Amino acid sequence: MNFIKRAFLNIKEKKGRSILLLLVMSAILLFVLSGIIIQNAAKSAIATAKESSNATVTLTANREQAFKNIRKSKSKSTTLSLPSVSIATAKKIAKSSYVKSYNVTNSTTVNAKSFTAIKTSSSSQSGPSMGGNNKSQSSSGDITLSGVSSTSTVLSSSSAKLVSGRGLTVSDANTNNVVIEKELAKDNSLKVGSTIKVKDTDDKVRTLKVVGIYKASSTASSGGMGQSDPGNTIYTSAQYVNKVKGTTGKAESVTFIMNNPAKASAFIKQAKKLISTSKFSLTTDDSTYQSLLTPLNNVKSFANKIVWLVTIAGTIILALIVILMIRERRYEIGVLLSMGEKRWKVISQFFTEMFVVLIFSTIIAVIGGGFVGNYMSKELVSQSSSTTTSTMTVSSGQSQGGAPTQGGMPNGGGATQQGQNTGSQQSSLSNLEVSVDLMSILELFGFGLVIILIAILAGTVNVLRLEPKKILIL
C-alpha cells in the first residue's frame, strides 16, 4: 500500500480530526487571504494615486534671492525686479521623461469695456487708505487676464470647473479665445460665442471671444480690488497675455506635471542644469499625493502585519495539532518503519493528508475571503482616514496666520487646498477595490504550503529521529 492511498484512507477513517484540521486551516487561510487582497488593493491604489494626483513642480522667479540682492545693494531703490521665465527654456525642461505635461502661466490686468466687472465691497475698505494705494488701484485693471497653455488642470479641480463650452488647449495659443466665470457671464448676459471688449493699460481696446464658461467655488478675498474677485478672472492663452503686455516668449511661471510624484526630486536636479538658480527657483507641490499616500501606506502596512502574524500564529497552532496527531499515531509510525517503510514516505503521507485539507481550506477561504477582506478594508480605511484627517486639521490650525500663502493666494486658498486634498483622499480610499484574483489565490496557496510543511516537520522531527523499536515502546 503506497503512502498516498494510506493518506486518503486515514482522512476517510478519521473524519472528526479531518474536519478539525479543515476548520483550523480554513480560518488561518481566510485571514491570510484577507490580508493579501487588502495589501494588493492598497498597492493598486498607490499606483493609481501616482498617476492621478498630479504632483507638480513650478518654475518661477527666485523671489528670495531677489530680496537678498536688494538688501545687499547700496542703491536706495526698493523696487523688486523679477526675471520672466523663458518659454523656450520651459519647453526644453518639459522634454524630460519625468514630465507628463506642462502649463505656462502668464497674467496681466485690463479694464472691462463692453461689460461690467463684478464689484467686491468689504467693511475693511472704509478705513483710511495707505499712501499710494488709490493710484495703484486706479492704474490696475478690474479684470485679470490669466494666460495658460491649457485649462485642463486649472478647470478640473474642486475650486473651478468648466460648465459650458470648451476649455483652452495649445491650439488656442495665437487666438483671442477666452473662458469666463459663470457669475460674470450671468451678470452681463454673456454666453458661449459672445464677444467682449477690454481696454489694456495703454487704452487699447481688444476684442475677446468667449469659447467656454467656468464656475469658481472660491470666494473673494476681503482685500477689495475688483480683480481679486474670482469672477473677474478670464482665462486666455499665455501668448495672448504676452501680446497684451508687449512681450514675447515670456511667462511668470511654468508648472510641470509629474508622471510619478516620487520622482519630483530627480526632476528638479535635472532641471536645475538648464536654469540659473540665482534667478529662478523650482518648488514642488505633492501635497495631494502625500495626503493619499499616508493612509494607503497605513492600510498596506497593517495588511502586511496581518498576513505575517496570522501565518506565524497559524503555523504554531497547526504544528501543535500535528504534534498531538502524530503522538496518537506513534504505533502506526513504528509499525510502518519496522516493515521497512522509508521515513520520507511516512512524512509524505502526513504531507498528503494535510495537502488534501489545504485544497479544501483554500476553496473555503476564497469563497469567504472577499467578504471578510471587504469588511476589514472598510474598518482599516475608516481608521486611517479619520487619523490622517485629524492630523491635517491640527497641522492646518497651527499653520494658519494672517500672511498670504505662496503665490499671493489668501488664507482661504490654503483651506481650499486642504479641502481638495481631503476630498481626494476620501475618494481614493472609498474606491479601494478589494477583490480575489488568481495571483492572490496562488500567493495564498504558497503560504498554505509553507505553513503545513513547517508544521509537519516540527511535529515529526522528534518521533522520526528514533528507531522503530523505541517508537513502539514510547
What's the chain's average pLDDT? 78
* pLDDT at 182 (0 to 100): 93
Greater confidence (327 vs 417) lies with 327
Domain membership of residue 225 as a residue range: 56-285
Q: Partners of 110 in the beta sheet?
A: 143
Question: Domain check: are 48 and 63 in the same one?
Answer: no
* pLDDT at 197 (0 to 100): 94
Question: Poorest-confidence range of 165-169, 322-326, 365-369?
Answer: 322-326
Domain closes at, from 251, 285, 319: 285
Question: Domain check: are 378 and 439 in the same one?
Answer: yes
Question: Domain check: are 176 and 264 in the same one?
Answer: yes
Compute the distance between CA of residue 451 and CA of residue 439 in angstroms, rounded to an integer. Answer: 18
Instruction: Give the model's confidence band at 31: pLDDT under 50 very low, under 70 low, under 90 confident, else very high.
Output: confident
* pLDDT at 112 (0 to 100): 92
Question: Poorest-confidence range of 32-46, 56-70, 359-373?
Answer: 56-70
Asked if residue 236 has pLDDT above 90, the reply is: yes
* pLDDT at 357 (0 to 100): 92
Q: Cβ contacts of residue 95 below 8 Å, gap of 6+?
A: none
Average pLDDT over residues 345-350: 86
Q: What is the pLDDT of residues 166-195, one digit of tens each?
A: 999 989 988 999 999 999 999 999 999 999
Domain closes at, from 285, 300, 320: 285
Question: Domain check: are 322 and 462 in the same one?
Answer: yes
Q: How many domains does the chain have?
A: 2
Instruction: Give the model's confidence band at 80: pLDDT under 50 very low, under 70 low, under 90 confident, else very high.
Output: low
Asked if residue 234 has pLDDT above 80, the reply is: yes
Question: Domain check: are 323 and 257 in the same one?
Answer: no
* pLDDT at 404 (0 to 100): 34
Question: Domain check: are 368 and 381 in the same one?
Answer: yes
Closest CA to 104 of 155, 60, 157, 39: 60
* pLDDT at 75 (0 to 100): 59
Asked if residue 73 has pLDDT above 70, the reply is: no
Torsion angle of the four alpha carbons 248, 252, 258, 264, in this order, in degrees rounded to the nearest 10: 120
Helix, strand, coil percentages (3-state) for the chain, rounded to 5, are 60, 15, 25
Question: Domain check: are 62 and 42 in the same one?
Answer: no
Instruction: Give the model's confidence band at 440: pLDDT under 50 very low, under 70 low, under 90 confident, else very high.
Output: confident
* pLDDT at 303 (0 to 100): 82
Average pLDDT over residues 455-462: 82
* pLDDT at 120 (0 to 100): 67
Question: Domain check: are 42 and 61 in the same one?
Answer: no
Instruction: Give the model's confidence band at 276: pLDDT under 50 very low, under 70 low, under 90 confident, else very high.
Output: confident
Neighbours of 165 (CB within 10 A): 17
Average pLDDT over residues 307-335: 84
Domain closes at, from 285, 316, 346: 285
Question: Domain check: are 224 and 196 in the same one?
Answer: yes
Per-residue cell: 453: 510543511
Report helix, strand or coil for 203: coil
Give percent above pLDDT 90 in the chain. 23
Instruction: Give the model's confidence band at 381: pLDDT under 50 very low, under 70 low, under 90 confident, else very high.
Output: low
Average pLDDT over residues 398-414: 37
* pLDDT at 1 (0 to 100): 56
Question: Poorest-confidence range of 40-49, 129-138, 347-356, 457-466?
Answer: 129-138
* Contact present, 437 and 300 (Cβ < 8 Å): no
**Inter-CA distances, 305 with 39, 299, 377, 434, 446, Å:** 10, 10, 14, 17, 17
Report helix, strand or coil for 439: helix
Q: What is the pLDDT of residues 93-126, one digit of tens each?
A: 999 999 988 888 889 999 999 999 988 655 444 4
Amino acid at 165: G
Average pLDDT over residues 120-143: 50
Question: Domain check: are 128 and 64 in the same one?
Answer: yes
* pLDDT at 271 (0 to 100): 92
Question: Domain check: are 303 and 203 in the same one?
Answer: no
Asked if residue 145 has pLDDT above 80, the reply is: yes
Question: Domain check: are 322 and 245 in the same one?
Answer: no
Average pLDDT over residues 233-245: 92
Q: What is the pLDDT of residues 357-367, one digit of tens each?
A: 999 999 999 98
Query: DSSP H helical segments within 221-286, as ranges?
Result: 238-245, 264-271
